[in-house]
Chain A
Amino acid sequence: EIVLTQSPATLSLSPGERATLSCRASQSVSSYLAWYQQKPGQAPRLLIYDTSNRATGIPARFSGSGSGTDFTLTISSLEPEDFALYYCQHRRNWPPTFGGGTKVEIK
């Protein structure tokens, strides 16, 4: 199975700053990578699918890029509600797997 490695594990930033989250795959997933946001006690929410497509209702400050094995989720200017856990997930083949997550916390 494809292993997804997210870095850093924790990102400490202030509101208004730019957040850059990384997801690296153990083999190519083409462009088949998604990003999710999860807040404590809540279900994950889809942010980005197939590398760079924002899901319905997701603000433009969230953007995704990359291809093959290296992907990035960028939050251009952090809002208070963006401090949360973020997971990447591939759909290149079965089984779909998730990365271990990056926590974006308030500095």
Chain B
Amino acid sequence: EVQLVESGGGLVQPGGSLRLSCAASGFSFTNYAMSWVRQGPGKGLEWVSGISDSGGTSYYADSVKGRFTISRDNSKNTLHLQMNSLRAEDTAVYYCAKNPYGSGSQWFDPWGQGTLVTVSS
């Protein structure tokens, strides 16, 4: 069974940093692209970032470009999202999601349970 477990969320002040992690199991992690998708309180879904199976290619939403960095450790089956210069509008539940292929724009299946990031002073 595919499992994705996010961690690292919490309360951070505006301008601060946070690193999210997603531990993957139940599938061959090195063969699939991975993504982060977020959902603000009471809001819809927003794709944040994606990374190819090898980690060689990454993509970002304009709203986070230059502030967030996605990475993966294929030896540890782990996906990361380094978030810097955080703003109040980054407050959201952040979901880790598996993509069906190694690269390219794709759908998301399955999703982790999410980790809450709150940016507030």
Contacts and interface: CB of A to CB of B under 8 A. Distances in A.
Q: Do A and B bind each other?
A: yes
B47 interface: yes
Contacts of A45: 110-111
B105 interface: yes
B113 interface: yes
Nearest to B4: A43
A44 B50 CA distance: 17
Main secondary structure of the interface of A (DSSP, over half): loop
A50 B109 CA distance: 13
Chain A residues touching B, range? 20 to 34
Contacts of A99: 44
Nearest to B46: A98
Interface stretch (A19-27, A59-67, A74-82, A87-95): A87-95
A89 B113 contact: no
B95 interface: yes
Given A43-B95, A43-B112, A43-B113, A98 B45 contact: yes
A49 interface: yes
Nearest to A43: B111
